[in-house]
Chains A and B, each alone.
Chain A
Amino acid sequence: MLKYANPTFFLGLAGRLLPWLAGATALTLAIGMWGAFFYAPADYQQGQTVRIMYIHVPSAWLAMFCYATMAASALGTLVWRHPLADAAQKAAAPIGAVFTFVCLVTGSLWGKPMWGTWWVWDARLTSVLVLFVIYLGLIALWQTIEDSSRAARAAAILTLVGVINLPIIKFSVDWWNTLHQPASVFRMDGPTIAPSMLWPLLVMGIAFTLLFTTLHVMSTRNEILRRRLRRLAIQAAAGEAQARPAHRLSTSESAP
């Protein structure tokens, strides 16, 4: 386990895995898109707008999955103080924010024809909006604290405090009477959605998960490289500062 957490090992592994991940993402996304737009029937009630679901629902899953990934990395930061966990945490926040944003926007576009309004303040929508704000707060925290390992620990604590929001999002449709429909895929008594609509949705879910994994690995790799570049730049600057007085000395000696 710790072998995989070595940043250098991770860089090598990421380089080998990324083409496969990207390829698998493109393939499943293509199949999922075809299923969503051509194979799946239009809903008898909602018509073509039901196709928004194939983007909206996977984004919502990933918005929460990404937060869970971030919380796991936060544990890695706080418990093992591992730099790879710091980088993974930092890399996940903007991706999660984008998935949450996509989920909110597609939900809003879907809500207008179905509910007759862009937005309602019900429990599901509000808790997802809170998730979005927490993501933005975490990004702000990362950008404000200069020392990156200190920023990582601050973000980790806030991430773990914010985990309380995940069960609230998941069960908000069961605990409160909301306009948002209750869970229809992951249920104790099996999915209540027609198979012809279910499988494109699941393929899209897998495609989005692969997309997230690809982006996250790329972003984590960039973060590690960025830190190495920064360290090299500091070393180079320190070397220059040492070299400069000697240089000045030599010029003054050569002067008559």
Chain B
Amino acid sequence: MTPAPLSALFLREIRAARRIGGGGTMGVVFFLILVTIVPFAIGPDLNLLSRIGPAILWIAALLATLLGLDRLFQADHEDGSLDLMLTGDTPLELIVLVKCLAHWTVTGLPLVVAAPLFGLMLALEPEALFGVTISLLAGTPALGMLGAIGAALTVTLRRGGLLMAILVLPLAIPVLIFGVSAAGAANSATTPFMTPFLILCALSLATLAAAPFAVAAALRHMSE
């Protein structure tokens, strides 16, 4: 039984995303595929899935965030609008911050909204669903900002996507650690939820404050 409407929807979303040029819907679809693959790989044991579900969702969100990021500055670089941003009066750091926030609204927020749904497929408890969603909401900005550094460093490369992943993923490990521990702690009575969650918030705020400077520096140096 192949669900034709689902595959039709899948193709339609890909077409729409291609026309708009963004990866918003494509990111969510990629997120779904990653969540779907995992039970095939480790077996459909619901107890196991509900135990490792938060981690699966976090890894899927991490990879889906990376997927859309390589085009963040590349399109602007190709059509020349990046040069206008570089020479304009508005500080490049602010431009970068606004671009990243917009990108997060298009690609990060749909992942957060979709996370509880995919959590149900992984047999997560309601508390764990809440934990994953709230931790993704707090953590995806940090992923996006770190990814923007990689996107800016590889902006002039034609096939920079893989290199960008290699550069960004090591830096994203702390976000992943505290994100998953916050998501997991929401489900258990023994471990505190607030400690990892607040550290996660701090990571997001710190990257929001600091990363635009690194991104702007990279863009200036790379497009010379």
User: CB within 8 Å of B: which residues of A?
Assistant: 78, 126, 130, 133-134, 136-137, 140-141, 144-145, 150, 153-154, 157-158, 160-162, 165, 168
Contact = CB atoms under 8 A, between A and B. Distances in A.
B166 A150 contact: no
A141 B156 CA distance: 12
Contact of B222 (A140, A153, A165): A153
- Tell me the interface secondary structure of chain A in the complex: helix
B163 to A, nearest CB: 5
Nearest to B223: A150
B170 A154 contact: no
Contacts of B222: 150, 153-154
B221 A150 contact: yes
Contact of A141 (B153, B169, B217): B153
B34 to A, nearest CB: 21
Given A130-B173, A141-B153, A157-B218, A150 B167 contact: no
B57 interface: no
- Tell me the interface secondary structure of chain B in the complex: helix
B217 A157 contact: yes
Q: What is the interface residue range for chain B against chain A?
A: 20 to 34
B166 A137 contact: yes
Contacts of A150: 156, 221-222, 224
The 9 closest A-B pairs by CB, nearest first: A153-B221, A133-B170, A137-B166, A137-B167, A154-B153, A130-B170, A157-B218, A134-B170, A144-B163
B170 A137 contact: yes
A171 to B, nearest CB: 14
Contacts of B166: 133, 136-137, 140
A202 B174 CA distance: 33
23 contacts: A126-B173, A130-B170, A130-B173, A133-B166, A133-B169, A134-B170, A137-B163, A137-B166, A137-B167, A137-B170, A140-B166, A144-B157, A144-B160, A145-B157, A150-B156, A150-B222, A154-B218, A154-B221, A154-B222, A157-B217, A157-B218, A158-B153, A168-B174
